[in-house]
Each structure stands twice: as C-alpha cells, then as structure tokens.
Structure 1
Amino acid sequence: MIIYKSQVFSYPDNYLALDLALLFIMAILEAIRLYLGTKGNLTEEEVPLGVSLVITVGSIMLSVYFLVWETYVLKADVIINAILLFMYGLEGLLQIIAIAAFVS
C-alpha cells in the first residue's frame, strides 16, 4: 500500500521514510512475536509467550499508527488495520489463557 500511495499521491520525503521505517520495524517485530508465540506454545513455557504478549502491545501501537496517524490513510488501510487489531486482541486473549494454563 505504501508503494501505491507513494506513486499516486505526492508523498513528502521525510514522511515516506518514516512510514517505511515503521513498516520494516513492524515486520521485524511481527516475525519475532510469531516465533516466540509458537515456541512458547509448543514447549508450553510461559516466558516466550509473555515476551510475545509484550511485543504484541508494540505491534498494536504500530498498527494504530498506520490506522490513524499515517500520512495517507485509505479505506483499504482502515479495513486491513481493523482486522489486524481484532486478530491482535484475539491472540492476546488466547496467549493470556495459555499462560494461565501453563502456570497451573
């Protein structure tokens, strides 16, 4: 979407670099979050799931940035980020339940 927006709209250079940097940070956080969540779930350990839950909070904040404060927010961005935030909420709830089950 950012590539499309940078081609169609007049995107200020400083803001394009910021949006791209935050998108790459979000991709890296997402890979780490999913790895730790999967590892914690398969090994039934609380620590990787807890770290994944903390990283989920950072991912939620980045998703809210792309939903509200991005330079150009299209209707497709709103739909994609609304689905993403719903999934983060569901995953966070399930991680809390899994951590509670592993502790007891």
Structure 2
Amino acid sequence: ILFYLNGFYYIFYFLATLLMIIYKSQVYSYPDNYLALDLVLLFIMAILEAIRLYSGTKGNLTEEEVPLGVSLVISIGCIMLSVYFLVWETYILKADVIINAILLCTYGLEGILQIIAIAAFVS
C-alpha cells in the first residue's frame, strides 16, 4: 500500500518541485547553470523513482527478495537527491522543506518495511 501511496505522492512532489523551481527562477536571480542542474537532478530523480516503485511493487507482489533489494538500493539514490533538494538547492522555500521531509519519512518507512519483507521472504 505504501508503494501505491508514494507513487501518487511523488507525482505531487515532482509537480510541486518543478513549479517551485519555475517560480524561483522568475522571482529570484537564479543562476542559469544552477537552474539547469536542479532541473536535471529533478528529472533523474523522477526516473529513479519510477524504477524504484516498479521494482518494489513487483518484488512485493511476487514475494521475491531481489526486486525488493534493487528497490532498496535505488532508494539510497532517491534519498540523496531528496536531501539535495532539502539542503543544497540554490533557493530553499518552506514548502521545499515540508514536501522533502514528508518524502524522506516515506522513504524511511518503506526502507524499514522492505528490510522486514526481504527477511521474511528469505526465511
């Protein structure tokens, strides 16, 4: 269920972050090279998130530990990108902090549940 909910939340997260980057580029003096970096990282994160959710859902439904493990490893990259948008992005708004904190909490909860599921599938 958490993969399903996170899929919908990530769509919201992606659109909100994209709109906030556009907003910040219009309101603040956003350096072009940092704007391109933020956009590229956001799209890389979207691709990783799609792979992570697909692999995690597949592993959960088929009760296989390998897809869940792949999803868990990809989660590390997604967490690092989320931390980038939380801490190192050029301009950070309060809305950035809130949506990234929620995303990091869901990653943490999913990671714990994936480890438990992998342990259950192995034994």
- TM-score normalised by length of structure 2: 0.83
The percent of aligned pairs where both chains have the same amino acid is 90
Using the TM superposition, give the Cα deviation of residue 8 of structure 1 relative to its aligned residue in structure 2, in angstroms. 1.4
- What is the alpha-carbon distance in structure 1 between the residues aligned to residue 76 and residue 102 of structure 2? 16
- What is the alpha-carbon distance in structure 2 between the residues aligned to residue 94 and residue 42 of structure 1? 14
- What is the alpha-carbon distance in structure 2 between the residues aligned to residue 9 and residue 18 of structure 1? 16
Count residues with an aligned counterpart.
104
- TM-score normalised by length of structure 1: 0.98
State the Cα RMSD in Å. 0.5
Using the TM superposition, give the Cα deviation of residue 9 of structure 1 relative to its aligned residue in structure 2, in angstroms. 1.2
String of CA shifts for 1:14-65, please: whole Å, max 9, x gaps: 0000000000000000000000000000000000000000000110000000
Gaps of 5+ in 2: 1-19
SS at match of 2:29: coil
Using the TM superposition, give the Cα deviation of residue 84 of structure 1 relative to its aligned residue in structure 2, in angstroms. 0.6
Gaps of 5+ in 1: none
